[in-house]
């Protein structure tokens, strides 16, 4: 029941939580009193995130594509805090862009799916049993507008995010009768390091499709994501929330 849960003492695990969208959400949840555990492969980013997030949060160097590494990190969090209330899968990569499908490298395609899709399942499988024990949990998979519409020149990324949306629908239904809610969020263009690394013509292609004619902000992402994983979001599951400046109205 909603009245039995609050932000107080909640624990959130965020993959890719030391940079970009994941770090923006980590800061917002920390401000709400949540103990945030950021997972990232980059030890320097983890060190910086731990310093900025403060003493109530943690950072663990983890390769989220490795089931053994993920289990080790999850076990460490549960050993320290006794619980994981929130799982956010924010780690991701675009892979090759501005390239047509017949030119896509299969190796690159596999790398994108390993991080953007397979890692979401790896972390979910490691965390879900702990949520089931307490009959409570909030899971957020970060998808993309590209998973709904498909961005030309971004086959691997668009396909992987469509898979994330499909995973969200399945998991939402499978755990609907428990206290676990599984949703995803589909941003359009938000100014992150990943977006900055894209070719300018690719960014223009995406931004021109947004009725608001601008990128989303980190703050807008963090506020929306925080609601999705909040105790108050109790009657929505298997849903992909929009964050596209009016581009997706479905």
So which residues are the catalytic ones? 157
Instruction: Report yes or no: 37 and 13 within 8 Å, Cβ to Cβ.
Output: yes
The rounded Cα 61 to chain-centroid distance in angstroms is: 17
The phi and psi torsions of 149 (rounded to 5 degrees) equal -95, -30
**Phi, psi (deg, nearest 5) at residue 14:** -125, 115
d(CA 118, CA 84): 20
**Percent helix, strand and coil across the chain, each rounded to 5?**
50, 15, 35
């Amino acid at each position: 029941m909603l009245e039995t849960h609050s932000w107080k003492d909640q624990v959130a695990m965020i993959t890719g939580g030391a940079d970009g969208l994941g770090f923006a959400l980590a800061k917002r949840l920390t401000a709400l009193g949540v103990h945030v555990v950021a997972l990232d492969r980059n030890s320097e980013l983890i060190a910086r995130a731990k310093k900025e997030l403060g003493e109530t949060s943690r950072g663990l160097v983890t390769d989220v594509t490795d089931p053994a590494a993920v289990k080790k990190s999850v076990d460490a969090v549960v050993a320290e805090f006794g619980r994981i209330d929130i799982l956010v899968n924010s780690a991701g990569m675009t892979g090759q862009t501005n390239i047509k499908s017949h030119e896509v490298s299969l190796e690159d395609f596999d790398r994108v799916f390993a991080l953007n899709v397979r890692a979401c399942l790896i972390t979910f499988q490691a965390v879900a049993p702990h949520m089931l024990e307490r009959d409570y949990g909030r899971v957020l998979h970060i998808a993309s507008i590209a998973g709904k519409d498909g961005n030309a020149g971004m086959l691997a990324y668009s396909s992987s995010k469509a898979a994330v949306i499909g995973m969200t629908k399945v998991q939402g239904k499978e755990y609907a009768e428990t206290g676990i809610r599984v949703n995803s969020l589909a941003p359009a263009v938000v100014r992150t390091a990943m977006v900055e690394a894209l070719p300018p013509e690719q960014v223009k292609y995406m931004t021109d499709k947004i009725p608001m004619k601008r990128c989303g902000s980190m703050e807008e992402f963090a506020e929306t994501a925080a609601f999705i994983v909040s105790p108050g979001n109790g009657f929505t599951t298997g849903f992909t929330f929009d964050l596209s400046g009016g581009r997706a109205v479905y």
